A and B are shown apart, each in its own frame.
Chain A
């Protein structure tokens, strides 16, 4: 199945404090309230303009820093389904998988796109097409694929 996604493009080293500020972590629990602060110190236009199905394309170390899962919840609640970066903070990557967001390392993609572009994601062939070029997505271990397919770790556990 091929889906299309409008992209938001960000650079290197966007840490979890920029994705979701630490000062809100113990007081905001409602996903909508969390989402309202998504990326507020980096791109104040994001939270109001993100649409379901949007993708984030970033440089190196997207989501480095704290383990805070709200930095994923905030984006998921706004409808982000796909995050592609040159590299990820390890915890952020795990948090994405566990919340059912497809996170993938695809070197070179972020230099080819600008915010507002539309990319094509082909789940069957595991590729992304952007600006006329096709990029292969890395393969996933079965356990990880099972979590993504269930819609996240929580969904998988509930089902069991």
Chain B
């Protein structure tokens, strides 16, 4: 008998069976479910179902992050309804505005652990693959059903294995790996499938870089993503976790739908052109493109290493374009403040926002004007994403975003460093 992939093991265990093959339908009981600013809308659906209490208030998390602090009265009304629902149901894990983005906060709080199952009413729930958990995004109706019943149907997906070989060069990050993958296999490359990362290239990825890969598998169309957890992951969870866990690994003889290899040594900084994360070019190809706004933030590119990389670029420089920096969480902000990274960003003229999603989805805190070009460390560059379809959005790693803010145009990071020396 051939072995099992990660997604043939973990959701099955959460469904009360040892393993299941791709294509089987399982009724899964997750370890944690979460929602964010969409909680009030879900609560309305929950009320319609006619169940008075949620299945388990200790297995539900709610963050206020997407439009936080509230930019309009309507958004504030939405928040107040969410707070009332959280109180009424006694939901244990509630995170107020400013604590940060759901995926980052739940990771930092170690509310989910390797080998566990998490469902979120957010497409980037694939994020939790960084620690070897099964994370899947669900819709609002599904989240209401989860609150009511504690379970949900899934079809066990086929798995695409991505082998990472070698080591990233300086200035190249996991963001560039994710863009390479989208470019190689298109944004539907992961459709209906799970993605498993493997290969010796993963070990050299710093902790802050790891979530970028599973996170951006949402752009790749994948249902879930997985990275085999190692000591770097175990150390990050130690001291925060409140229960034991067992990491789960795929079998060596598991059957994969497809295997795709990326050679990390050969990667260079990449840019996704406005419209789609799979329209990717080497930075050199579009050097000189004018930029009005840089944005460093989001669940993809707003962690400490992103801020530190940006600070290293802008230190001692003046900015020709606006630079908005919104840390993914309060922990990230506090660490940047303590290390001097925040001071460097402020001194260069960056505008710092409250930890949360910020400008990512066009709600507030950095919406571009018609015709203005943005370059962001986030993951979504769809037309209209930041508020208007007529504002082009380029995707890049954080250092490249910072360099563009310094130059007022897309430029190689080395060109900024050269000016300084």
Question: Which residues does A use to contact B, with CB under 8 Å?
Answer: 13, 15, 17-18, 21-23, 25-27, 29, 41, 60-61, 64-67, 69, 72, 87-91, 93-95, 98-99, 141-144, 147, 152-154, 157-158
Interface size in chain B (residues, C-beta < 8 A): 53
B153 CB–A CB distance under 8 Å = yes
Closest 7 CB pairs of A and B: A61-B188, A95-B139, A67-B123, A17-B382, A69-B139, A22-B361, A27-B74
Residues of the B chain whose Cβ atoms lie less than 8 Å from the Cβ of A141: 25, 155
Residues of the B chain whose Cβ atoms lie less than 8 Å from the Cβ of A22: 361-363, 384-385
A92–B141 alpha-carbon span in the complex (Å)? 12
A143–B155 alpha-carbon span in the complex (Å)? 10
A91–B218 alpha-carbon span in the complex (Å)? 10
Contacts A17-B383, A23-B387; is A61 near B191 (CB within 8 Å)?
Answer: yes
B191 touches A88 (CB 8 A): yes
A13–B219 alpha-carbon span in the complex (Å)? 11
B401 CB–A CB distance under 8 Å = no
Cβ-neighbour of B142 out of A27, A88, A98 (below 8 A):
A98
CB distance from A140 to the nearest CB of B (A): 10
Residues of the B chain whose Cβ atoms lie less than 8 Å from the Cβ of A88: 191
Which residue of A is nearest B364, CB measured?
A23
A98–B144 alpha-carbon span in the complex (Å)? 11
B140 CB–A CB distance under 8 Å = yes
Cβ-neighbour of B49 out of A26, A95, A157 (below 8 A):
A157
Cβ-neighbour of A152 out of B141, B148, B155, B387 (below 8 A):
B141
Residues of the A chain whose Cβ atoms lie less than 8 Å from the Cβ of B74: 26-27
Residues of the B chain whose Cβ atoms lie less than 8 Å from the Cβ of A93: 192
A18 touches B137 (CB 8 A): no
B5 CB–A CB distance under 8 Å = no
* 10 pairs, CB–CB < 8 Å, chain A vs chain B: A15-B276, A18-B383, A22-B361, A27-B78, A60-B186, A67-B139, A90-B157, A94-B139, A95-B142, A147-B153
B138 touches A94 (CB 8 A): yes
Residues of the A chain whose Cβ atoms lie less than 8 Å from the Cβ of B362: 21-23
Which residue of A is nearest B50, CB measured?
A158
Q: How many A-B residue pairs have CB under 8 A?
A: 131
Contacts A26-B75, A64-B187, A91-B123; is A154 near B48 (CB within 8 Å)?
Answer: yes
CB distance from B274 to the nearest CB of A (A): 12
Which residue of B is nearest A99, CB measured?
B141
Contacts A67-B121, A153-B142, A158-B49; is A87 near B188 (CB within 8 Å)?
Answer: yes
B49 touches A65 (CB 8 A): no
B149 CB–A CB distance under 8 Å = yes
Contacts A23-B363, A157-B148; is A69 near B384 (CB within 8 Å)?
Answer: no
Contacts A21-B384, A29-B44, A69-B141; is A157 near B222 (CB within 8 Å)?
Answer: no
Residues of the A chain whose Cβ atoms lie less than 8 Å from the Cβ of B382: 15, 17-18, 65
A27 touches B75 (CB 8 A): yes
B223 CB–A CB distance under 8 Å = yes
Contacts A67-B123, A143-B25, A158-B48; is A26 near B383 (CB within 8 Å)?
Answer: no
A87–B155 alpha-carbon span in the complex (Å)? 16
Residues of the A chain whose Cβ atoms lie less than 8 Å from the Cβ of B153: 143-144, 147
Residues of the A chain whose Cβ atoms lie less than 8 Å from the Cβ of B222: 90
Cβ-neighbour of A26 out of B66, B137, B145, B219 (below 8 A):
B66
B67 touches A17 (CB 8 A): no
A99–B148 alpha-carbon span in the complex (Å)? 17
CB distance from A31 to the nearest CB of B (A): 12
A64 touches B221 (CB 8 A): yes
- Beyond A22-B363, A147-B153, 18 additional contacts (C-beta under 8 Å) are A15-B382, A17-B382, A27-B78, A41-B384, A61-B186, A65-B219, A89-B191, A91-B137, A94-B138, A95-B139, A99-B141, A141-B25, A143-B25, A153-B142, A154-B144, A154-B145, A158-B48, A158-B50
A89 touches B138 (CB 8 A): no
A99–B110 alpha-carbon span in the complex (Å)? 33
Which residue of B is nearest A89, CB measured?
B221
B196 CB–A CB distance under 8 Å = no
A29 touches B41 (CB 8 A): yes
Which residue of A is nearest B49, CB measured?
A157
Cβ-neighbour of B383 out of A41, A64, A67 (below 8 A):
A41
Contacts A18-B384, A27-B75, A60-B188; is A157 near B145 (CB within 8 Å)?
Answer: yes
Most buried by B among A61, A72, A94, A95: A94
A56–B27 alpha-carbon span in the complex (Å)? 30
CB distance from A33 to the nearest CB of B (A): 12
A64 touches B144 (CB 8 A): no
Which residue of A is nearest B148, CB measured?
A157
B176 CB–A CB distance under 8 Å = no
B221 touches A61 (CB 8 A): yes
A144–B186 alpha-carbon span in the complex (Å)? 28
Residues of the A chain whose Cβ atoms lie less than 8 Å from the Cβ of B27: 143
Contacts A17-B385, A41-B383, A94-B138; is A66 near B75 (CB within 8 Å)?
Answer: no
Which residue of A is nearest B155, CB measured?
A141
Contacts A26-B37, A69-B140, A157-B148; is A90 near B192 (CB within 8 Å)?
Answer: yes
